[in-house]
Amino acid sequence: MVVSGVPDENGINHAGEIASMAVDLVNVCHTFKIPHKPDTQLKIRCGIHSGPVVAGVVGTKMPRYCLFGDTVNTASRMESTSEALKIQCSSSAAELLEKLGGYILTCRGALSVKGKGEMTTWWLEGKKNLKIQQ
Protein backbone atom coordinates (compact mmCIF):
# COMPACT_ATOMS: atom_id res chain seq x y z
CA MET A 1 0.00 0.00 0.00
CA VAL A 2 1.20 3.47 -0.90
CA VAL A 3 -0.06 6.80 0.40
CA SER A 4 0.40 10.44 -0.49
CA GLY A 5 -0.40 13.52 1.57
CA VAL A 6 0.72 11.93 4.86
CA PRO A 7 2.10 13.30 7.16
CA ASP A 8 2.28 16.55 5.14
CA GLU A 9 -1.01 17.39 3.46
CA ASN A 10 -0.77 18.33 -0.20
CA GLY A 11 -4.30 19.42 -1.04
CA ILE A 12 -5.84 17.32 -3.79
CA ASN A 13 -2.47 16.58 -5.38
CA HIS A 14 -2.26 13.27 -3.51
CA ALA A 15 -4.81 11.75 -5.89
CA GLY A 16 -2.76 12.74 -8.94
CA GLU A 17 0.50 11.49 -7.44
CA ILE A 18 -0.99 8.07 -6.65
CA ALA A 19 -2.81 7.85 -10.01
CA SER A 20 0.36 8.68 -11.95
CA MET A 21 2.33 6.10 -9.98
CA ALA A 22 -0.35 3.45 -10.59
CA VAL A 23 -0.39 4.14 -14.36
CA ASP A 24 3.42 3.90 -14.46
CA LEU A 25 3.41 0.63 -12.48
CA VAL A 26 0.82 -1.00 -14.73
CA ASN A 27 2.68 0.15 -17.85
CA VAL A 28 6.01 -1.26 -16.65
CA CYS A 29 4.35 -4.67 -16.21
CA HIS A 30 4.12 -4.95 -20.00
CA THR A 31 7.90 -4.78 -20.44
CA PHE A 32 9.17 -6.30 -17.20
CA LYS A 33 10.70 -9.76 -17.60
CA ILE A 34 10.57 -12.18 -14.68
CA PRO A 35 14.09 -13.70 -14.72
CA HIS A 36 13.07 -17.29 -13.90
CA LYS A 37 9.81 -17.13 -15.98
CA PRO A 38 10.61 -15.06 -19.09
CA ASP A 39 7.41 -16.11 -20.91
CA THR A 40 5.11 -15.05 -18.04
CA GLN A 41 3.77 -11.51 -17.87
CA LEU A 42 3.82 -9.77 -14.50
CA LYS A 43 0.26 -8.75 -13.58
CA ILE A 44 -0.78 -6.39 -10.79
CA ARG A 45 -4.09 -4.95 -9.61
CA CYS A 46 -4.36 -1.38 -8.39
CA GLY A 47 -7.02 0.35 -6.32
CA ILE A 48 -7.27 4.03 -5.40
CA HIS A 49 -9.38 5.71 -2.74
CA SER A 50 -9.16 9.09 -1.07
CA GLY A 51 -10.31 10.06 2.40
CA PRO A 52 -9.30 10.80 5.98
CA VAL A 53 -6.98 8.55 7.98
CA VAL A 54 -5.51 8.41 11.47
CA ALA A 55 -1.77 7.86 11.53
CA GLY A 56 0.78 7.06 14.19
CA VAL A 57 3.88 5.15 15.12
CA VAL A 58 3.13 1.70 16.53
CA GLY A 59 5.66 -0.42 18.43
CA THR A 60 8.80 0.15 20.45
CA LYS A 61 11.26 -2.58 19.41
CA MET A 62 10.47 -2.18 15.74
CA PRO A 63 8.39 1.00 15.30
CA ARG A 64 6.20 1.33 12.23
CA TYR A 65 4.27 4.25 10.81
CA CYS A 66 0.71 2.94 10.49
CA LEU A 67 -2.51 4.25 8.99
CA PHE A 68 -5.95 3.42 10.33
CA GLY A 69 -9.52 4.02 9.28
CA ASP A 70 -12.22 3.27 6.78
CA THR A 71 -10.19 4.91 4.00
CA VAL A 72 -7.50 2.23 4.36
CA ASN A 73 -10.12 -0.53 4.21
CA THR A 74 -11.83 1.00 1.18
CA ALA A 75 -8.53 1.40 -0.70
CA SER A 76 -7.80 -2.27 -0.01
CA ARG A 77 -11.24 -3.22 -1.36
CA MET A 78 -10.62 -1.16 -4.50
CA GLU A 79 -7.49 -3.23 -5.12
CA SER A 80 -9.00 -6.62 -4.27
CA THR A 81 -12.05 -6.12 -6.50
CA SER A 82 -10.00 -4.72 -9.39
CA GLU A 83 -8.77 -6.78 -12.35
CA ALA A 84 -5.29 -7.69 -13.54
CA LEU A 85 -3.45 -4.78 -15.17
CA LYS A 86 -6.26 -2.36 -14.30
CA ILE A 87 -6.65 0.53 -11.86
CA GLN A 88 -9.98 0.84 -10.05
CA CYS A 89 -10.92 4.11 -8.34
CA SER A 90 -13.61 4.95 -5.85
CA SER A 91 -15.94 7.87 -6.60
CA SER A 92 -14.05 10.12 -4.17
CA ALA A 93 -10.73 9.46 -5.94
CA ALA A 94 -12.34 9.83 -9.38
CA GLU A 95 -13.83 13.21 -8.41
CA LEU A 96 -10.41 14.49 -7.33
CA LEU A 97 -8.79 13.24 -10.55
CA GLU A 98 -11.51 14.98 -12.59
CA LYS A 99 -10.77 18.24 -10.72
CA LEU A 100 -7.05 17.86 -11.34
CA GLY A 101 -7.62 17.08 -15.02
CA GLY A 102 -5.39 15.10 -17.34
CA TYR A 103 -6.70 11.61 -16.46
CA ILE A 104 -8.91 9.26 -18.47
CA LEU A 105 -11.66 7.69 -16.36
CA THR A 106 -14.40 5.28 -17.40
CA CYS A 107 -17.30 4.37 -15.14
CA ARG A 108 -17.19 0.69 -14.19
CA GLY A 109 -20.65 0.94 -12.64
CA ALA A 110 -22.12 -0.27 -9.38
CA LEU A 111 -20.14 -2.92 -7.56
CA SER A 112 -20.97 -4.80 -4.38
CA VAL A 113 -18.07 -4.19 -2.00
CA LYS A 114 -17.75 -6.23 1.19
CA GLY A 115 -18.35 -4.05 4.24
CA LYS A 116 -19.37 -1.07 2.09
CA GLY A 117 -22.40 -2.22 0.08
CA GLU A 118 -22.98 -0.87 -3.43
CA MET A 119 -20.30 1.50 -4.69
CA THR A 120 -19.92 3.16 -8.06
CA THR A 121 -16.34 2.65 -9.18
CA TRP A 122 -14.24 3.91 -12.05
CA TRP A 123 -11.44 2.53 -14.21
CA LEU A 124 -8.43 4.78 -14.52
CA GLU A 125 -7.46 4.19 -18.17
CA GLY A 126 -4.37 6.41 -18.10
CA LYS A 127 -3.23 9.98 -18.35
CA LYS A 128 -4.34 12.07 -21.32
CA ASN A 129 -0.76 11.99 -22.63
CA LEU A 130 -0.07 8.36 -21.64
CA LYS A 131 -2.60 5.52 -21.91
CA ILE A 132 -2.19 2.19 -20.16
CA GLN A 133 -0.71 -0.34 -22.57
CA GLN A 134 -2.86 -3.34 -23.44
The model's pLDDT over 70-121, given as tens digits with 9 standing for 90+, comes to: 999 999 999 999 999 999 999 999 999 999 999 999 999 999 999 899 999 9
Nearest to 95 by CA among 121, 75, 125: 121
Nearest to 124 by CA among 8, 112, 91: 91
Nearest to 51 by CA among 86, 18, 22: 18
Q: Which one of 37, 61, 77, 116 is the catalytic residue?
A: 77
Q: Which one of 37, 61, 64, 114 is the catalytic residue?
A: 114
- State whether residue 31 is helix, strand or coil: coil
Q: Specify whether 33 is catalytic.
A: no
Amino acid at 1: M
Q: Specify whether 77 is catalytic.
A: yes
| pLDDT tens digits, 36-83 | 999 999 999 999 999 999 999 999 999 999 999 999 999 999 999 999
